[in-house]
Amino acid sequence: MVRALSSHDRGHRFESCVTHQIFVSKKKTMEEELQNELHPRVPKAGRVLHTWTIPVYQLHTRGTLWYIIAGTLVIALLGYAVATANFLFALLIILFAVIIFLSHTNEPPMVDVAVTDLGIVMNERFYPYHALTSFWIIFDPPLTKHLYIQFQSSVRPALSIHLADENPLEIRETLRQFVYEDLEKREEPLSEVLWRVFKM
């Protein structure tokens, strides 16, 4: 025999239903706020699967010897530029030296990175998966721990993204659902190796 619901039972079920709706609504609002906080200029970037924060560039520890060698090299290049009357080259050397000096006297700004179900967001720029051809991860701590994404455009270089404290295996498993993984890429680009070796 089916027992009729009492007013107490109906009230309890109603409260449970309302509580569930409030929970779902709050969860949805929190997800929307998280996405807007991560990438306010690209609100349709999809559902966030991974997110982390990285500096725009890496700071390197430099000793006195580094500054002596760098200063000697700059002076030698400036002397060559003046001797050959190549003042544009001299100007470029000065600008480069100033940029390198200033970039390592201030803390680098931080940018947000997010992997979603539609693409990758970095520094408020959205890279949809359909615009990418492949990805690969170079993991050799503490030297390098980077994610690389290759674009459809052949003239556009691969984008390097530091993984910080993210688990590379988890990032890999997620991206493999959307983008081809290039397993032949096992070494980081030569330019990044030189940049790190010379502590630029």
| One CATH from 1.10.10, 1.20.272, 2.30.29, 2.60.40 for 44-57+110-197 | 2.30.29
- pLDDT grade for 197, boundaries at 50, 70 and 90: low
The angle, 0 to 180 degrees and rounded to 10, between the axes of the packed helices 87-103 and 64-83 is 160
Rounded to 5 degrees, φ, ψ at 190 are -60, -35
**Residue 156 has what DSSP assignment?**
S
Helix (H, G, I), strand (E, B) or coil at 42: coil
pLDDT tens-digit profile of 132-190? Answer: 999 999 998 877 899 999 999 888 889 999 999 999 999 999 999 999 999 998 877 77
User: Which run of H or of E encompasses 149?
Assistant: strand 144-151
Q: Answer whether 0.75 is exceeded by the pTM.
A: no
> Are the beta carbons of 159 and 122 closer than 8 angstroms?
yes
